[in-house]
Amino acid sequence: MIIGERKKVSEIAEMLAGKKKILVSGCRTCVAICMAGGEKEVSELSSALMLISDRDGLGWKMEENVVERQCEKEWVREIDDKIRNADAIVSLACGLGAQTVADMYPEKEVYPGLNTTFLGVPEEQGVWSEKCLACGECIIHTTGGICPVSRCAKSMRNGPCGGSSNGKCEVDPDTDCAWVAIYDRLKLQGRLDMMTDVIEPKDWSKSHSGGRRKIVRKDLLIQPTDSSGKEVVE
- Part in contact with other proteins (CB under 8 A); list of ranges 19-27, 114-122, 128-136, 161-169: 161-169
Tell whether residue 195 is a contact of other proteins (CB under 8 A): yes
Tell whether residue 167 is a contact of other proteins (CB under 8 A): yes
**10/227 with CB nearer other proteins:** 10
Tell whether residue 43 is a contact of other proteins (CB under 8 A): yes
Q: Which amino acid is at 60?
A: W
Query: Phi and psi dihedrals of 131, rounded to 5?
Result: -140, 5
| DSSP string over 210-229 | GSS-----GGG-SS---TT-
What span, in angstroms and rounded, lies between the C-alpha atoms of 83 and 231? Answer: 22
What span, in angstroms and rounded, lies between the C-alpha atoms of 188 and 168? Answer: 19
What span, in angstroms and rounded, lies between the C-alpha atoms of 119 and 34? Answer: 11
- Part in contact with other proteins (CB under 8 A); list of ranges 20-28, 66-74, 131-139, 189-197: 189-197
Number of residues that bind other proteins (CB under 8 A): 48
Alpha-helical (H) ranges within the chain are 9-15, 30-33, 39-56, 73-77, 80-85, 95-104, 148-151, 178-188
* Residues 116-135 as x/- pattern, contact with other proteins by CB under 8 A: ----------x---------
**48/96 with CB nearer other proteins:** 48
The minimum distance between CB 208 and other proteins, in angstroms, equals 12
Tell whether residue 44 is a contact of other proteins (CB under 8 A): yes
**Is the CA virtual torsion 27, 32, 34, 40 positive or negative?**
positive
**145/163 with CB nearer other proteins:** 163
Helices vs. strands in the chain: H and E counts, helices first: 8, 7
The minimum distance between CB 15 and other proteins, in angstroms, equals 14
- Among 121, 134, 171, 221, which residue interacts with other proteins (rule: CB under 8 A)? 171
**145/229 with CB nearer other proteins:** 145
> What number of other Cβ atoms are within 10 A of residue 90's Cβ?
28
Q: Which residues bind other proteins (CB under 8 A)?
A: 8-10, 13, 40, 43-44, 47-48, 50-52, 54-55, 126, 153-168, 170-171, 173, 177, 179-180, 183-184, 195-202, 204
